[in-house]
């Protein structure tokens, strides 16, 4: 298969300094992008510039540096708003990542709306970050957690989903795209059905923000969350998007500085959105760095990235299927560029270790989706996940490396 010539992957690779190195004396092939993505030079430079020239705590300064950075922090919020097409910038809350965002919603939404006997629906595809916070809520409120089953291709069973909704259902929380299998869920349909029952939907966007155009108004989701580090931005950054009507009603889940309007020992009034949900000094360096990453994605073009990645997924699927004894987990009709697999008789960890010695970085294990692994009756998989800077050559290398792995263990 030939590389799409209109997409200049070698120029893109030049922008990511980390890719240009050897590990174990082999050129690095980084295929662990679902775990975290690498950072372009523009993001590294932006973060460096803040610490070298601009650092100052935001929002409460009268001086030049503080005002300048406050403005850039709010511009970063506006950049996120545009990127996900939120209606208002005040619907964009900066957090430390997807896990933080889901915990915040589970706590705050749960405080306000979930009572004994109420139900939360999740799916069999979820990352632990979208399971455990709801279990904690279940314990706190004596609520119920229902799980929509999936089929053996790794797709949500829509009939079961529709049957599961009841008058007790208060929220539906699911991954937009599965991190272990790559399944793209039919979230528009899921949201449509939920809204017929006036139930809000939270989308875990940790694996969608970097792979396809996200339009929260078009999807009509009530909450959408993601991590900056999965979309070429700095670690410890993330976003909680919520429709204004929910965020206005929900109580803050953390209290302290920044999120207040007025404090006396008798009474405190809270700040307006978005600051109501941003207690303490925010990670302003990270937020501005994340906005820079989103600009990089925009410049490259999310549609072009998606085309490139789906070409890689097709090629990788075809090559890996040629390997006798290799099983791919996750064969949904609509998928992003994630390939989970096992080779008969070879432990996923051993496969990963040998690939590493050949310079190929993949992830092995349950990928924080233990219940999903249980569904397939396995402990874990080898997962290769491709990003905008990966090449068809790297997939061919993976294919040849896997043949060697097979040979070594036969
Ligand atoms: N949800 C999904 C689907 C993920 O893939 C991940 C990370 O792998 C998370 C949640 C948690 O993200 P973070 O660790 O950045 O909070």
pLDDT digits 0-9 by tens, 59-118: 988 999 999 999 999 999 999 999 999 999 999 999 999 999 999 999 999 999 999 999
For the chain, report the end-to-end CA distance as a whole number of angstroms: 29
CATH of residue 384's domain is: 3.90.1150.10
Q: Which two tokens stand for residue 362?
A: 């993949």
CA 266 to the chain's CA centroid: 41
**368 catalytically annotated:** yes
**Are 258 and 324 in a shared domain?**
no
User: Phi/psi of residue 329, each to 5°?
Assistant: -105, 125
Categorize the per-residue pLDDT at 3 as very low, low, confident or very high, splitting at 50, 70 and 90: low
**Are 101 and 118 in a shared domain?**
yes
Please determine, for residue 47, whether its predicted confidence score (pLDDT) is greater than 70. yes
Q: Is the CB of 122 under 6 A from ligand 1?
A: no
Q: What is the pLDDT of residue 60?
A: 80
User: Phi/psi of residue 79, each to 5°?
Assistant: -60, -45
Q: Which residues neighbour 192 within 8 Å (Cβ) at sequence distance 6 or greater?
A: 220
Mean local confidence (pLDDT), 120-126? 98
**Are 275 and 345 in a shared domain?**
no
**Are 33 and 50 in a shared domain?**
no
3-state SS of the chain is CCCCCCCCHHHHHHCCHHHCCEECCEECEECECCCCCCCCHHHHHHHHHHHHHHCCCCCCCCCHHHHHHHHHHHHHHHHHHHHHCCCCHHHEEEECCHHHHHHHHHHHHHHHHCCCCCEEEEECCCCHHHCHHHHHHHHHHCCEEEEECECCCCCECHHHHHHHCCCCEEEEEEECECCCCCEECCHHHHHHHHHHCCCCEEEECCCCCCCCCCCHHHHCCCEEEEEHHHHCCCCCCEEEEECHHHHHHCCCCCCCCCCEEEECCCCEEECCCCHHHCCCCCCHHHHHHHHHHHHHHHHHCHHHHHHHHHHHHHHHHHHHHCCCCEEEECCCCCECCEEEEEECCECHHHHHHHHHHCCEECEEECCCCHHHHHHHCCCCEEEEECCCCCCHHHHHHHHHHHHHHHHHHC
Q: Quick count: other Cβ atoms within 10 Å of Cβ 150?
A: 23
Categorize the per-residue pLDDT at 148 as very low, low, confident or very high, splitting at 50, 70 and 90: very high
- Which residues span the domain enclosing 229? 44-299
Say if residues 17 and 44 touch (Cβ distance below 8 Å).
yes
> Whose Cα sits closest to atom 2 in ligand 1?
206
In a domain, 4, yes or no: no
Say if residues 32 and 367 touch (Cβ distance below 8 Å).
no
**Are 357 and 249 in a shared domain?**
no
What integer best gives the mean pLDDT of the chain? 97
Pocket test for ligand 1, best of 95, 206, 235, 385 (most atoms within 8 A of CB): 206
**Are 224 and 142 in a shared domain?**
yes
| Distance between Cα 128 and ligand 1 center (Å) | 8
In a domain, 3, yes or no: no
**Are 250 and 331 in a shared domain?**
no
pLDDT tens column, 218-237: 999 999 999 999 999 999 99
Range with the poorest average pLDDT among 5-9, 64-68, 382-386:
5-9
Rg of the chain's alpha carbons, rounded to an integer? 22
Q: How many domains does the chain have?
A: 2
In a domain, 2, yes or no: no
Please determine, for residue 4, whether its predicted confidence score (pLDDT) is greater than 90. no
User: pTM of the entire structure?
Assistant: 0.98
In a domain, 198, yes or no: yes
CATH of residue 73's domain is: 3.40.640.10
> Whose Cα sits closest to atom 4 in ligand 1?
206
Pocket test for ligand 1, best of 98, 101, 154 (most atoms within 8 A of CB): 98
């Amino acid at each position: 298969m030939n590389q799409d010539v209109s997409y200049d992957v070698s120029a893109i690779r030049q922008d990511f300094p980390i890719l240009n190195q050897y590990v174990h004396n082999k050129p690095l092939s980084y295929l662990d992008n679902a775990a975290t993505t690498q950072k372009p030079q523009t993001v590294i430079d932006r973060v460096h510039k803040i610490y070298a020239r601009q650092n100052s705590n935001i929002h409460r300064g009268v001086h030049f540096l503080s005002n300048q950075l406050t403005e850039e922090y709010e511009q970063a919020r506006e950049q996120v708003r545009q990127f996900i097409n939120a209606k208002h910038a005040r619907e964009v809350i900066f957090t430390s990542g997807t896990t933080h965002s889901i915990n915040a919603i589970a706590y705050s939404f749960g405080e306000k709306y979930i009572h004994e006997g109420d139900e939360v629906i999740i799916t069999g595809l979820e990352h632990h970050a979208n399971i455990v916070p709801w279990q904690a809520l279940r314990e706190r409120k004596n609520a119920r957690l229902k799980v929509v089953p999936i089929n053996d291709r790794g797709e949500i069973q829509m009939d079961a989903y529709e049957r599961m909704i009841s008058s007790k259902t208060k929220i539906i929380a699911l991954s937009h795209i599965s991190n272990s299998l790559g399944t793209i869920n039919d979230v528009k349909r899921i949201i449509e059905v939920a809204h017929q029952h006036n139930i809000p939907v939270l989308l875990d966007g940790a694996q969608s923000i970097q792979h396809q155009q996200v339009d929260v108004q078009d999807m009509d989701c009530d909450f959408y969350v993601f991590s900056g580090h999965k979309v070429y931005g700095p670690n410890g950054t993330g976003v909680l998007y919520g429709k204004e009507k929910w965020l206005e009603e929900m109580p803050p889940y953390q209290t302290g500085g920044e999120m207040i309007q007025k404090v006396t020992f008798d009474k405190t009034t809270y700040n307006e959105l978005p600051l109501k949900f941003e207690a303490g000094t925010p990670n302003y360096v990270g937020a501005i760095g994340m906005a820079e990453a989103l600009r990089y994605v925009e410049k490259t073009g999310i549609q072009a990235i998606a085309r490139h990645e789906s070409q890689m997924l097709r090629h990788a699927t075809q090559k890996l299927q040629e390997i006798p004894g290799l099983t791919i987990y996750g064969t949904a009709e609509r998928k992003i560029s994630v390939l989970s697999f096992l080779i008969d008789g070879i432990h996923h960890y051993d496969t990963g270790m040998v690939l590493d010695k050949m310079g190929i970085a993949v992830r092995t294990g349950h990928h924080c989706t233990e219940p999903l692994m249980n569904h397939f009756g396995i402990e874990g998989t080898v997962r290769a996940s491709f990003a905008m800077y990966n090449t068809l050559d790297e997939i061919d290398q993976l294919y040849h490396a896997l043949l060697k792995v097979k040979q070594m263990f036969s």
